[in-house]
Amino acid sequence: MKSTGVVRKVDELGRIVLPIEIRKVLDIKQKDAIEIFTDNDRIILQKYEPACVFCSNTDDVIYFNGKRICAACIKQLKEQM
C-alpha cells in the first residue's frame, strides 16, 4: 500500500472528497459505485466491480484475496490442479 500524500478532512456529514488525480488514474466517474472495506484501523475504498476477474460473469461471485471470482471459474481451477 502506498501513500498518496493527500490528507483530507471529513466534513460535518462524514464526507470526504476523492482527489481528481486519483479519480482520473482509477477511472472513477461521477455516480460510479465505490465499495468500502475495513482492515483493522484502515478504510479501503475500491471501485465497485461485482464481476468475476476471469470471465466477467456476475453470478455466484465471491471475494477472494482482493479479487472477485465466480463459481464456474473456481470449478475450472480445481479441475486443473
Residues that bind Zn ion (CB under 5 A): 52, 54-55, 57, 70, 73
Q: Which is nearer to Zn ion, 28 or 54 (CB)?
A: 54
CB nearer to Zn ion: pick between 2 and 78: 78
Which CB, 23 or 54, lies closer to Zn ion? 54
Q: How far is the CB of 74 from Zn ion (least distance, A)?
A: 8
Between the CA atoms of 34, 31, 5 and 10, what dihedral angle is there, to the nearest 10 degrees? -80
b (16+ CB within 10 A) / e for 52-72 = beeeeeeeebeeeeeebbbee
> 69 by DSSP, 3-state: which?
strand
Q: Cβ of residue 52: shortest distance to Zn ion, in angstroms?
A: 3
